[in-house]
A and B are shown apart, each in its own frame.
Chain A
């Protein structure tokens, strides 16, 4: 068992927000998704106060050993999520962590309050990779912005609050420290790194939104370094992620100080990658215990 700031996990592998849609998976694969759920917790895709259509296509670009996406957080909005999605997600056999994002602190507060009061929800993850429309600053790129946000929402719930850090910041460990000081129960990292691709013929930006976020093996080494730096600076648990494809990759993030590990883009290649990574990690850890005992 893994204890992630009070959320009990069967194993240390969860999904990265926005990389697995359990409701769509039920449509594609049926109830086997519930019977053989690949993750120890389900982290939902980001929800916002108002419904969002997301960015204009094209939204994807395959890059060297990875992917650039500019999806733009399409979602049904808070009311739609609570009415339509939450009852389905409640069928999953694992704890549910809901990822939320707002464009002002008050918006985030409304989201946190409404989501946290639902019994189906085990914890919340704050997506701070967007600009605060009041200050113009990326909330998660600046320690003071992050602290102000966490201070605003911390009193609203006793449930675990996880702050999802952006790697597009000058000093992610300082942001992590600020989040912890303001009352965050855990931090998760890394979100995607900003990237861009040009249309091979026209030379114009390929992605509908101009730029996007890079994920996959291309960012694994960067993620490992950031997780190690952050874990050194904070005492709260760290959820590490970035390019994890195997149990050995997850083991590396645990060695760097992570308590749990999220699988993201690899799930696009294999919908049960989370279960495979958990199995491989379990074998590695058992082997280590055996060799330590002999």
Chain B
């Protein structure tokens, strides 16, 4: 089963620490009463106080985050300060109350028989791959903008790393590394920016390799209420929050750029 049901309650944890990890911030908080999530599931997160009054009087809505780690009532998230929501979270202080809803959505499915998992992450999209890696053996390919972002690769044991600017690891795109592996009997588990996931979708489709993509989409609620986070599939639009966020690449019409 790749979906743990969320308690029907927005609960309030406490921020324990927010620490830098290269270009990212790692936020650790308590998760009182929260069940163990499945890799690929996510949480709707908002600080309980001063959520608002940032740029443009935002943030207003909670933000969706894959979890980096969960253990015994403690959750960890990785975030990059790129907008009013992540900015507020990046500046959270220990002791602050934090709203949590989750775990939400459908996570990664087990690997198909006769195939080996190959985990492919780009940027902040490496996050859901960390708990997945703890459950399955397989190669890990990670791509980052530069060395400062690639510091987060240290979370993994022995990954193959590349950067756009060549400042560390291979110089190039993670999809170039993937291309060399698609003749092997692998199943791809990928998460990253839309352009990367669209490339993974096309490459794996052409080569007949199964791929599970963990998608991101702007969403208001995370539990299927707002219908805002849809992506186009062969069966029409589906909601990333309840039908995903992990979806089979073969079923998708495209990975939207937004």
Contacts and interface: CB of A to CB of B under 8 A. Distances in A.
B46 A25 contact: no
B144 interface: no
Counting contact residues on chain B (CB < 8 A from A), the size range is 35 or more
Give the interface SS of chain B, mostly helix, strand, loop or mixed.
loop
B225 interface: yes
Contacts, number: 124
Contact of B237 (A33, A53, A216, A269): A53
Contact of B258 (A21, A23, A25, A58): A58
A268 B60 CA distance: 10
Interface in B216-237: 217-231, 236-237
Contacts of B57: 64-65
Interface string B1-16: 0000111111000000
Nearest to B242: A24
Interface residues of A, number: 39
A287 interface: no
A69 B58 contact: no
Nearest to B220: A268
A25 B236 CA distance: 21
Interface in B200-258: 217-231, 236-237, 239, 242, 256, 258
Interface in A65-85: 65-67, 69, 71, 74
Nearest to A217: B60
Contacts of A32: 7-8
Contact of A267 (B8, B221, B228): B221
Interface string B59-70: 111100000000
Interface of B: 5-10, 46, 52, 56-62, 99, 101, 104-105, 217-231, 236-237, 239, 242, 256, 258
Interface of A: 18-21, 23-25, 27-30, 32-33, 36, 45, 53-54, 57-60, 62-67, 69, 71, 74, 216-217, 265, 267-272
Q: Which 10 A-B pairs have the closest CB atoms?
A: A24-B224, A64-B57, A60-B228, A268-B221, A29-B8, A32-B8, A28-B223, A268-B220, A270-B10, A30-B5
